[in-house]
Amino acid sequence: MLFKSPKLRGLKALFTICMVFFIIHIVMTDIEFLDLAENALKRIEAACDIINATTDTDIDNQRTGNMVTLTFENRSQIIVNLQKPLQEIWLAAKRGGFHYKNSNGLWLDTKGNGELFEMLSDFASEQSLSRLNFKV
């Protein structure tokens, strides 16, 4: 056996403890993901309410489980949904599909294109033909 000496067994135990500590603090639990992602969906819904109340733009936002569908007056849509197994938020717009992971409280595109609420503002503005802000 490789770890016969007490010193090596002690090092193996220390290494194992360090790896467990590292994994616990780096990997987000499903509960943490769902909490953060749910807050993001609520922010999107709240932004729609503010936009509808303060602008001439009308956005119909429908919530079904872990998905929010935004429908604009021209019938174009943006769909935002949670992907729990990957711990990502997915967004589908006319410009394409985008995946976001949480990093230090920000939902960042996995290909480095930007932040969820900034990009959602741009996509919604394009599709509605009005400047809209989802960064509330």
In a domain, residue 52? The reply is yes
Whether pLDDT at 67 is above 90: yes
**Would you give the distance in Å from CA 68 to the centre of its chain?**
13
Q: Which of the four pLDDT bands, split at 50, 70 and 90, describes residue 2?
A: low
In a domain, residue 20? The reply is no
What is the mean predicted confidence (pLDDT) over 71-95? Answer: 97
In a domain, residue 35? The reply is yes
pLDDT the model gives residue 28: 74
E strands along the chain, which residues?
A: 60-64, 67-71, 77-83, 88-93, 96-103, 106-109
Task: Give me the number of domains the chain comprises.
Answer: 1
pLDDT in tens, 107-134: 999 999 999 999 999 999 999 999 999 9
Q: What range does the domain containing 114 cover?
A: 30-128
In a domain, residue 16? The reply is no
In a domain, residue 15? The reply is no
In a domain, residue 11? The reply is no
pLDDT in tens, 7-49: 656 666 666 665 555 554 456 788 999 999 999 999 999 999 9
Tell how strand 60-64 and strand 67-71 pair up: antiparallel
CATH code for position 50? 3.30.920.10
Q: What CA–CA distances, in Å, run from 133 to 6, 98, 110, 124?
A: 62, 18, 22, 8
Query: Which of the pair, 5 or 58, is modelled with greater confidence?
Result: 58
In a domain, residue 22? The reply is no
In a domain, residue 109? The reply is yes
User: Strand, helix or coil at 46?
Assistant: helix
What is the mean predicted confidence (pLDDT) over 103-110? Answer: 95
Residue 50: which residues within 8 A CB-CB, separation 6 or more?
136
Phi, psi torsion values for 127, nearest 5 degrees: -75, -30
CA distance 82 to 5: 49
